[in-house]
Chain A
Amino acid sequence: MAEERINAEQVQHVAGLAKLEFTPEQLATFTPQLEKIIGMFEELSAVDTTGVAVTSRMSDHTNSLREDVAVKSDEKLRQALLDNAPETANGLIKVPAIIDESGDGE
């Protein structure tokens, strides 16, 4: 291979950014796949884009503004929203401790 585009270590780094984790077996499959796809991306380096503007959105108008008006919700909607949460307690969404107080540094 002339130049390594992405290695297992970099894949781990990107996975960290994306809040994903892979087992060593998964990494062994994913790394060469990503390597191949990124190789395909590199076709673009052959295109002369000097002075070409970037297109990043397609809409034909820029913004729509409206009055900021509070809309009253109801108990039924509140319950429907909570019903979708994996864990609730006292009408609130429950999550594990955010601050780790165990002292083991994890």
Chain B
Amino acid sequence: MTYFDQDLTSLHADLVAKKISATELAKATFANMAQVDPQLGAFLNLNEDQALKQAALLDQNGIDANNLFAGIPLAVKDNIVTKDLTTTAASKMLENFVPVYDATVVDKLLASNALIVGKTNMDEFAMGGSTETSAFHVTRNPWDISRVPGGSSGGSAVAVASGQVPVALGSDTGGSIRQPSSFNGIVGMKPTYGRVSRWGLIAFGSSLDQIGPMTRTVKDNAAALNMIAGNDVHDTTSSKREVPDFTAGLTGDIKGMKIGLPKEYMGEGIDPKVRAVIEQAVKQFEDLGATVEEVSLPNSRYGVAAYYIIASSEASSNLQRFDGIRYGFRADDVKNLEDVYVRSRSEGFGDEVKRRIMLGTFSLSAGYYDAYFHKAGQVRTMIINDFNKVFEDYDLIMGPVAPTPAFKLGDEVSDPITMYMNDVLTIPVNLAGLPGMSVPAGFADGMPVGVQLIGKAFDESTLYKAGYAFEQATQVYKQTPEVGGAN
């Protein structure tokens, strides 16, 4: 079976009414994955035995009618640790790494009796925008298999977009949930920094990383965020703020909502066909009774430079732990400790990861710290202030997610700067710690294009409310790709 004609509500109803058992659902899910995924490559590692065991137990004990996720198969990005299930972050460095604990989000999934069907492909250590830096294999876009799925959460996006699972978890440091969601025509939420625990997320940029849900519909996404959100004693940066019911405001009524459209997000460098989709979305929001006005985020143009300094610096520090000693790859024939470090890291990391470690180490090194790392931290403050100013007068900000639709495999992976510029519209949100969501808005040259909605800190509710109204009015999400002979 595919999940094209079902959402969490209808699946749950079928499970509760025993139209289908959890075991039947899980088996059908794996059967479909076996048919569809060889062509797409969304998954790195499957969890079939364990998932079927869990499903059998659920069938024995009965599906809880009040638990939307009971028996629901879902996918988890491979930089989120899963106990006893190999977790690689798509790196040769962690090819044989078996975590000894579950990430907090995984704990929550399992406590909700959801089934983890497998771990999804990604750019190595989440560094990249096309999933092509994975040490293991490429992932293909189900709308056109000659194109990238985006990244770094490309496997999770494809798993959902191709109907293999209804929900997948991704992580977003500079756009890694939103950009692949846009490229694949699904809904992806990067929550406010601190909304979701990062405990068990293999760290990349610790002041930027957030885990978030990727789904076909806004309502499913809101329900999934409710499941994974909340304070966690294991992550001091997770917020103690109350987590509201994100599905509560999904009425379709957004009359009077005030939306800002940054002129910097609609200018040069944006593919005219993408711009046309966003202009159409503006009209749609106006038809729904919202007002959309041009605003300015003048410092967003410096976001890419500031981000690549900050994220690379944090990464160079975080990735020091991969030293070939306690876990991970160790080079052969090493003769002393220095050799273990240098050769294990040089052979275990791929080129993009090395580039980031080098950029970060350089930005933090004596003589360069002030001009790069310190300066980037100041520009970050200015970018935050730009957002705060707009949010004095507006409920949310809208714009494109990425400057183009999904590009061809192999086109950009050898040119780091071009690849980095793809993140120009998503990065400012991470630098400011704000929630951002991609919602399917239309197509350019047959490829999906998402609209990005950006909210005030901890106001995911307004994004879901607006996203839901837009989705119900446009019904873009009902268009699905033709995959693997399923049609």
CB-CB contacts of A89-100 with B at 8 A, as 1s and 0s?
A: 000010111101
Q: Mark B144-175, 1 if CB is under 8 A from A, else 0.
A: 00000000000000000000000000000000
Contacts of B193 in A (CB 8 A): 58-59
Interface of A: prevailing SS: loop
Contact across chains for B330 and A59 when beta carbons are under 8 A apart: no
CB <8 Å contact, B365 and A58 = no
Partner of A85, one of B237, B327, B354, B379: B327
Most chain B CB inside 10 Å of its own CB: which residue of A18, A52, A100: A18
Interface contacts (Cβ under 8 Å), in number, total 167
Q: How far is the CA of A62 from the CA of B340 in the complex (A)?
A: 37
A51-106, CB < 8 A from B: 52-61, 63-64, 66, 77, 80-81, 83-87, 93, 95-98, 100, 106
| Contact, CB under 8 Å: B194 / A60 | yes
Q: Main SS of chain B's interface residues?
A: helix
Q: In whole angstroms, how far apart are the Cα atoms of A97 and B339 in the complex?
A: 11
The contact of A41 among B240, B309, B325, B346, by CB within 8 Å, is B309
CB distance from A31 to the nearest CB of B (A): 10
* Cβ–Cβ contact A19 & B345, under 8 A: yes
| CA A49 to CA B244, docked complex, whole Å | 37
Q: Is the CB of B324 within 8 A of A86?
A: yes
| A contact residues vs B (CB 8 Å cutoff) | 6, 11, 14-15, 17-22, 30, 33-34, 36-38, 40-45, 47, 49, 52-61, 63-64, 66, 77, 80-81, 83-87, 93, 95-98, 100, 106
Q: Which of B334, B336, B359, B380 contacts A106 (CB 8 A)?
A: B336
> What are 17 A-B residue pairs whose CB atoms fall within 8 Å in the complex?
A15-B358, A19-B323, A20-B346, A20-B354, A38-B362, A41-B308, A42-B305, A44-B306, A45-B375, A47-B378, A49-B379, A55-B377, A57-B207, A58-B193, A80-B98, A84-B327, A85-B327
What chain A residues lie within 8 Å of B365 (beta carbons)?
A: 14, 17
Q: Identify the closest chain A residue to B339 (Cβ).
A: A96
